[in-house]
Amino acid sequence: MHYTGMKTAEAALHRLCDPEAKVSSHYTVDEDGTIYRHVSEDRRARHAGISWWAGAKDINSNSIGIEIVNPGHEWGYRTFPLEQIDAVIVLSRDILSRHAIPARNVVGHSDVAPDRKEDPGELFPWQQLAAAGIGLWPKASHAVLPVSHEKALRRYGYGIRPDAEASLDKVIIAFQRHFRPAKLDGVFDAECESILAALLAKLDGA
């Protein structure tokens, strides 16, 4: 999941369709819910860049990229409209009906490239998607991690140096942006620990 990070939908669509830009995605979802298909799902799109998730490098080669129209942090980041998120849910369910994608592999650009990217950002409603069967969301708990938070973040899927480019603090912010967006400080506190422990428990139970 990405946001387009451009001033207008038109500008984003133009760039995604421009061969000279060397960037592409499989789909774009406009703010009114219109879905554009750019690249067939059986072909590689260039949407993730240098990236890492759950031991996999070159995420472009084994993922489906969805661009979601939003100006992003540079141009006036704003809440995603309900019509847009409804369309993202419909599209994602359709994709999941065709591909055996584990729930933990429904991720944002910032999850796979935390040293470079912030999208789709802290306003993206991951919890709403998880409630619709798309991705994971933890239940409230007071669980603690049996290992260090660095090892636990690696186990969930995040890439941390030396395996990937991102430093631990960048990965913690990416984790917070996805699962605890109210506080993006890079400090792995007790709330982060309980969230991550609950997520890992979901993996163990899957």
Could you list the active site residues? Answer: 67
Q: Tell how far CA 11 is from the center of its chain.
A: 22
Rounded to 5°, angle at Cα 67 from 134 and 20: 150
Contact (CB, 8 A) for 2 and 45: no
Q: For residue 55, give the DSSP letter.
A: T
* Phi, psi of 27, deg, nearest 5: -140, 155
Contact (CB, 8 A) for 114 and 158: yes
Contacts of residues 58-63 at CB distance under 8 Å and 24 or more positions apart, as own/partner, are: 59/112
Listed residue (11, 30, 120) closest to 73, CA to CA: 120
Which three-class secondary structure state does DSSP give residue 11? helix
120 preceded by a cis bond (ω within 30 of 0): yes
- 73, HSE (Cβ side, Cα atoms, 13 Å): 11
